[in-house]
Amino acid sequence: MGLQVGERLLEQSLSTMRRCGGGRRECVLFWAARASDTSRVILVEHPAHTATRDGYSVDGNWLTQLWERMATDDTRVVAQVHTHPGVAFHSRTDDAFPALSTPGFVSVVIPRYATEDLDLGSWFVAELQEDGNWQSQPPLIVIT
Amino acid sequence: MVESAAVDTEPGVDAPTVVINYGGDEKPFEYDPRETVERLIARAIERFHLTAQPHQLGLFLDGAELPRDQTLEHAHVKPDVHLLLKQIVVEGG
């Protein structure tokens, strides 16, 4: 069973990344779910971050505030989503520096700065395994 | 003044407790004031079932990262405080 994401949240994600990256820089956001049902994405978090044409870095203080808020709200980040300038794949940096290192955490990479229409077939989606490796095994995202 | 040496054993019965938050998930941890920050990070990795290595994570108190080679006592960790465990670097490209 994959991560269930509503079409509206997907469109919101693409819209946010297009606006933030401007077709020139990468962008990152997080998908969050209730702690009691981590299979269904209910909101999009757009972190404070810096970005270049081929990389991004999330602000540590912003992350601190998010983890504190999630403890109060009983929500959890279940996936990180970021754009690439070209094709979607997981770079060594993507492998090594995720927001969470919990097995089952999902990473989504969207090609061409998310400037294209929604097309899951062009995305790279991987799940963190118990051994610390990332495995891409569809379907990890299910549109609801 | 006699400095207490860092210990590498499990906290005993009636040990003080802190709460560690990882990604919004909070768990209580009994601790020994003489154990190092690094040791508590290692125990948290095991308890939260994380794939990260200890050097990739930091333990934060009121927004400040605790020095990993210090004992919890010297890092001013008091019973019942809430600590935050997070990746030191979150980036991609």
Locate the domains of chain A by residue range: 3-143
| Interface pTM, i.e. ipTM | 0.94
Query: Exposed (0-12), middle (13-18) or buried (19+): which is A67, by Cβ within 10 Å?
Result: buried
Q: Which residues pair with B61 in a beta bridge?
A: B64
Of the pLDDT bands very low, low, confident and very high (cuts 50, 70, 90), residue A43 is very high
Q: Above 90 in pLDDT, residue B6?
A: no
What is A3-143's CATH superfamily? Cytidine Deaminase, domain 2 (3.40.140.10)
Q: Report the CATH fold assignment for B17-87.
A: Ubiquitin-like (UB roll) (3.10.20)
Locate the domains of chain B by residue range: 17-87
Closest CA to A84 of A125, A138, A46: A125
Model pLDDT for residues B70-91, shown as the tens digit of each residue: 999 999 999 999 999 999 999 9
Interchain contact A48–B (C-beta under 8 A): no
Q: Is A56's CB within 8 Å of B86's CB? A: no
Window B:4-43, CB contacts with A under 8 Å: 21-26
Interchain contact A25–B (C-beta under 8 A): no
Q: Is A67's CB within 8 Å of B84's CB? A: yes
The C-alpha atoms of residue A82 and residue A8 are separated, in whole angstroms, by: 18
Closest CA to A3 of A108, A89, A93: A108
Partners of residue A64 in chain B, C-beta under 8 Å: 60, 63, 84, 86
Q: Is A103's CB within 8 Å of B25's CB? A: no
Q: What is the pTM of this model?
A: 0.93
Interchain contact A13–B (C-beta under 8 A): no
C-beta neighbour count of B33 within 10 angstroms: 17
Stretch A92-105: mean pLDDT, rounded? 97
The token pair that represents A91 in the structure block: 């770079």
Model pLDDT for residues B10-63, shown as the tens digit of each residue: 777 789 999 999 999 999 999 999 999 999 999 999 999 999 999 999 999 999
Residue in A closest to B19 by C-alpha: A71
Interchain contact A136–B (C-beta under 8 A): no
